[in-house]
Structure 1
Amino acid sequence: MILSGITFAAAGTLPGFVYAAAATPRRLVFIIQRGAADGLATVAPTGDPAFAAARRTLADETARGAKLDTMFTLHPALATTAGLYSCQQAHFAQAVATAYRDRSHFDGQNMLEGGGSRPYGRSDGWVGRLLTLLPTAERDAIAIAPAVPLALRGPVQVGTYAASRLPQADGDLIARLSVLYAEDPLLHPLWDSAVRTQELAGDIGGNNGRNGADLGKLAASLMLPADGARVMMVETGGWDTHSGQRGRLNAQLRGLDQLIGALQSGLGPAWNDTLVIVATEFGRTVEVNGTGGTDHGTASTAMLLGGNLALGGKVSADWPGLTPAGRLDGRDLRPTRSLESVIAAAVAHHYALDPKRVMTTLYPDD
């Protein structure tokens, strides 16, 4: 059913699990970067001697960024995130990837969300399975998305905040409906809210990053109330930078940074009990292509943010190097750690759950 812009649905069945012992005030936000975000630009390995030569025209974009350690520099568009890092409220896991090794966005996103060992191997998702480990009072979950994403599917009922049909409608139809509803006192504000939500999720880099800030405010408003969501998934798109990457990625990262900043500000003291996970389906090539962009790659960067991180203020990486011999297939950043293990460890620490149980619940096919 649909209630005040929130669609409720349930999907899939799973056997019973042992739940966490007691209710907590903890919150979890999973931000997916659809399109394969460039981890080598986000957390740039400026200390690697091969970096500047491989990245050529893109290498100097990190010059103004915050130095994270002797090896890595954060993209300058992530200024708020850099501040969180200095306060031990951000952690970056570099050279990570799911078990997926091909380069299809659809298959890669399915693996990231489903947590299976192969594309389309599961009909439920890792976040949906996580909910079964939480006390009943802490299972309220919602996605800022037009439909329940695979990551949230499972036996626990979850919600979505968006108009369910907007992504299938073209711009002309949306404009005509906006005119049609303009004078309707009931439908006009609901329609405007739905259109705005779609715009925010689809273009977080728009309006000089303000779309990202508005999306973060919306997310916080849905989570902060006592009866609000405790688990959330936020969909962001636009990360596929095959050409003209420099300006486009700068806008995307600025929007993500403002999303994170607005979420932190909006949650207030609740930020100290919040874990934010930012991840993408795979990374991008080490070398720049002929149109100033990068192509589909393998390993990338995951971000962990919040007020109670196990390794806040650090970059974790078993760095493989960027020389041709160190790359995967001679072209990609070689993954040296599984994204699945990064997510499971962060979730286990956040909820004070047994790490082995979390890993086997979130990723039962591994």
Structure 2
Amino acid sequence: MTCELMTPTRRAVLGASGALFAWAFIPRFAHAAGGRDPRFVTIILRGALDGLTAVPPVGDPDYETLRQQIAMTTSGPQAALPLDSFFALHPSMPNFNRLYRAGQAAVVHASATPYRDRSHFDGQDVLESGYETPGRVESGWLNRMLEGLPKGDKVAPGASAIRGLSVGANAPLVIRGKAPVLGWSPSNLQPVSDDLPPRLMDLYNHTDPLFAKILAEGISTGKIAAGLDVKARGGPGDPTGMEQMARGAARLLAQDDGPRVAALAFEGWDTHAGEVERLNKLLVGLDNSLAAFQQELGPAWKDTAILVATEFGRTAQVNGTQGTDHGTGTTAFLAGGAIKGGRVIADWPGLKQVQLRDGRDLAATTDLRAVVKGIAVDLLGASPAVLTRDVFPGSDHVLPMKGLIA
């Protein structure tokens, strides 16, 4: 099967360039639970993660028959890591497993957005826009959520509420919108000489003071996020690139006057062929990224929630090229010191032929919007009414999931 090419549009590039380096100060949330100074990170996995491989339901009697040669077991050299008596975790995710055992990570299985077709473009649009159907808006739910959050006690008259952080060369739709956003992306260029930044600053201080201010903030951002201890550089579809993006983001989020909400997008999760080898590599990158957030956030980790989501799942049965095709239900990951973890949250639909959606997909029983709403309300102090009206329009029937935040 040939997939749509997911290349950045000119509009996306312009959206990213508009998310420039600028904010005066970042206030604390006004009503964060327990007086917290929270962080919320959303990681989008572009291409549709196979949740039945990432978190295999090894206790389901129909799992091995459906998965055939790519079925995972909890024994042998490549054994999955048991999470409970029914679910296991892909062996490429030991850091997530460690967080899970520490009560700082959870899985939401058989989950999905309201989208029920199989186009990457439309699925990602629904996932990131927050609307029930594609093609509605050019803003994302995370940015609209920023607009609606209560202002903190450090906000000066007329100042905006909490600012966001977009990581990557192109700002993900989920964080594009009216709320101000800081943009940062790892550089693939060779480092410049130490004397170049001050020389540029001196030049623009005399010729263009406004640009000099923006340049100074950009240099400051780069200094905070750079210095990554990696010998090789990669993109958002490479394990090294994923970790690099996560470390830079975490360093910015860890600052007392830094952003508190961030969005990243990792690519390459479309596994039509050779799924085993491909996911072995990609899940290492995701797993190392979560560990990087914990390491770099330091004390702020205890008040952090990370959501990892994808546009839809994949078929329950394996195709003829040792891969899986576009499906429906999938897996979302939660991690962070603020997460009430150590559990798999699932209303398991089963894998019998009659239980599969359209006779081919894992049925979705949990609405991803309920997960986001639960985190937004209990960690960030968001208004349920604002979430329903502005952030996820048309979601009146989707209530915030309780008990996700410790």
TM beyond 0.5: yes
Q: Which residue of 2 aligns with 1:97?
A: 112
| Residue in structure 2 matching 1:261, options 268, 280, 291 | 291
Q: Which residue of 1 aligns with 2:62?
A: 50
| Residue in structure 2 matching 1:145, options 168, 174, 185 | 168
AA in 1 matched with 2:285:
G
Q: Number of residues paired by the alignment?
A: 329
AA in 1 matched with 2:100:
Y
Query: SS at the partner of 1:28?
Result: strand
- CA change 1:296–1:214 in 2 (3 A) is same
Deviation for aligned residue 1:182: 8.5
Is 2:388–2:394's contact at 8 Å kept on the other side of the alignment? no
AA in 2 matched with 1:135:
K
Is 1:62–1:73's contact at 8 Å kept on the other side of the alignment? yes
CA distance in 2, matches of 1:289, 1:88: 36
- CA change 1:183–1:159 in 2 (3 A) is closer
Q: Which residue of 1 aligns with 2:330?
A: 300
Is 1:324–1:330's contact at 8 Å kept on the other side of the alignment? yes
Q: Which residue of 2 aligns with 1:26?
A: 38
AA in 2 matched with 1:157:
P
Q: Which residue of 1 aligns with 2:11?
A: none
Is 1:66–1:82's contact at 8 Å kept on the other side of the alignment? yes
Is 1:7–1:161's contact at 8 Å kept on the other side of the alignment? no
CA distance in 2, matches of 1:243, 1:262: 29
Higher mean alpha-carbon deviation, 227-236 vs 254-263, is at 227-236
Query: SS at the partner of 2:300?
Result: helix
| Residue in structure 2 matching 1:236, options 266, 269, 273 | 266
Question: Map of 1:1-366 to 2, 5 A cutoff?
Answer: 7-9=17-19, 20-21=30-31, 24-60=36-72, 63=75, 64-132=79-147, 133-135=149-151, 139-162=162-185, 186=196, 200-205=234-239, 210-309=240-339, 311-366=340-395
Percent identity for Structure 1 against Structure 2: 40
Deviation for aligned residue 1:341: 1.1
AA in 1 matched with 2:145:
L
- CA change 1:294–1:69 in 2 (3 A) is same
Deviations 1:29-84 (A, max 9, x none): 10000000111111111000000111111113664222111110011111000011
Deviation for aligned residue 1:340: 1.0
Deviation for aligned residue 1:261: 0.2
Query: SS at the partner of 1:93?
Result: strand
Higher mean alpha-carbon deviation, 344-353 vs 79-88, is at 344-353
Deviation for aligned residue 1:201: 4.1
Q: TM-score, normalised by structure 1?
A: 0.82
Query: SS at the partner of 2:293?
Result: helix
Higher mean alpha-carbon deviation, 91-100 vs 213-222, is at 213-222
Deviations 1:157-183 (A, max 9, x none): 1122138xx9xxxxxxx9xxx69x989
CA distance in 2, matches of 1:265, 1:77: 19
AA in 2 matched with 1:91:
A
CA distance in 1, matches of 2:374, 2:141: 13
Deviation for aligned residue 1:148: 2.7
Query: SS at the partner of 1:44?
Result: coil
Query: SS at the partner of 2:71?
Result: helix
Stretches of structure 2 that go unaligned for 5 or more consecutive residues are 1-15, 21-28, 156-160, 198-218, 396-406
AA in 2 matched with 1:109:
Q
CA distance in 1, matches of 2:61, 2:19: 51
Q: TM-score, normalised by structure 2?
A: 0.74
- CA change 1:26–1:34 in 2 (3 A) is same
CA distance in 1, matches of 2:316, 2:236: 26
Deviation for aligned residue 1:218: 1.3
Query: SS at the partner of 1:220?
Result: helix
Is 1:95–1:319's contact at 8 Å kept on the other side of the alignment? yes
AA in 1 matched with 2:236:
G
Stretches of structure 1 that go unaligned for 5 or more consecutive residues are 1-5, 11-18, 167-173
Query: Over the residues paired in the alignment, what is the CA RMSD in angstroms?
Result: 2.8
Deviation for aligned residue 1:257: 0.3
AA in 2 matched with 1:155:
K
Q: Which residue of 1 aligns with 2:12?
A: none
- CA change 1:264–1:182 in 2 (3 A) is closer
CA distance in 2, matches of 1:360, 1:91: 28
* Structure with the largest fraction of strand: 1
